């Protein structure tokens, strides 16, 4: 699928602010893919579709998680996580994208997972640092992304965990597991 068609499909699924965010993630993901030797086309498609389900009703996402036997433990954690695996499911069913690398990057762009591929890391980090993001520390994350994708990923995970803790919100266990895996990977270099 070409970029123009993919963007047309996605634009129908979200409001303007989310679409602008998606463009930012796409552009950032392509830059990071070039830098880290990741397939640019896969990065582009995963970035375009990463928030495909973000604007879907919560009840619809909950029903899909239950019906399609997506990870049921998601239902016990922040609903902000749901759009990622639901989005991957819907991208496959509604859009027809079957590339497992792209679907995996979409699935884990909010939580991460223990064996992240470079494509997974590119999408996770691109979503965190895209140009529209404005929060304390984003410039440091952008700097790290230009130097070392693992350090940028670690920074994003650490700050996400800290943010959730400060808000007294639950933290999905896979996010902790991802953090631990990146730490271990970094120490084995």
Low-confidence ranges of the chain (pLDDT < 50): none
What integer pLDDT is reported at residue 108 of this predicted model? 97
What integer pLDDT is reported at residue 185 of this predicted model? 80
What integer pLDDT is reported at residue 135 of this predicted model? 92
Q: Is domain 3-187 classified as CATH 1.20.1740.10? A: no
What integer pLDDT is reported at residue 186 of this predicted model? 67
Neighbour count for residue 98 (Cβ, 10 Å): 9
Match 């899909």 to its residue by tokens. Answer: 64
pTM confidence score: 0.95
HSE at residue 118, side-chain half, CA atoms within 13 A, is: 12
Model pLDDT for residues 74-100, shown as the tens digit of each residue: 999 999 999 999 999 999 999 999 999
């Amino acid at each position: 699928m070409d970029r123009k068609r993919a963007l047309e499909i996605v634009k129908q699924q979200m409001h303007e602010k989310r679409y602008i965010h998606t463009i930012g993630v796409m552009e950032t993901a392509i830059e990071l893919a070039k830098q880290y030797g990741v397939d640019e086309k896969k990065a582009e498609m995963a970035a375009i579709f990463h928030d495909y389900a973000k604007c879907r009703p919560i009840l619809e996402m909950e029903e899909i998680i239950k019906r399609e036997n997506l990870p049921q433990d998601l239902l016990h954690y922040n609903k902000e996580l749901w759009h990622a695996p639901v989005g991957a499911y819907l991208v496959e069913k509604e859009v027809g994208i079957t590339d497992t690398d792209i679907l995996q990057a979409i699935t884990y762009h909010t939580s991460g997972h223990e064996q992240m591929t470079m494509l997974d890391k590119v999408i996770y980090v691109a979503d965190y640092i895209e140009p529209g993001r404005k929060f304390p520390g984003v410039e440091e994350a952008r700097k790290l992304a230009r130097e070392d994708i693992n350090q940028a990923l670690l920074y994003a995970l650490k700050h996400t965990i800290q943010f959730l803790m400060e808000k007294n919100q639950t933290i999905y266990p896979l996010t902790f597991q991802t953090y631990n895996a990146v730490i271990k990977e970094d120490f084995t270099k």
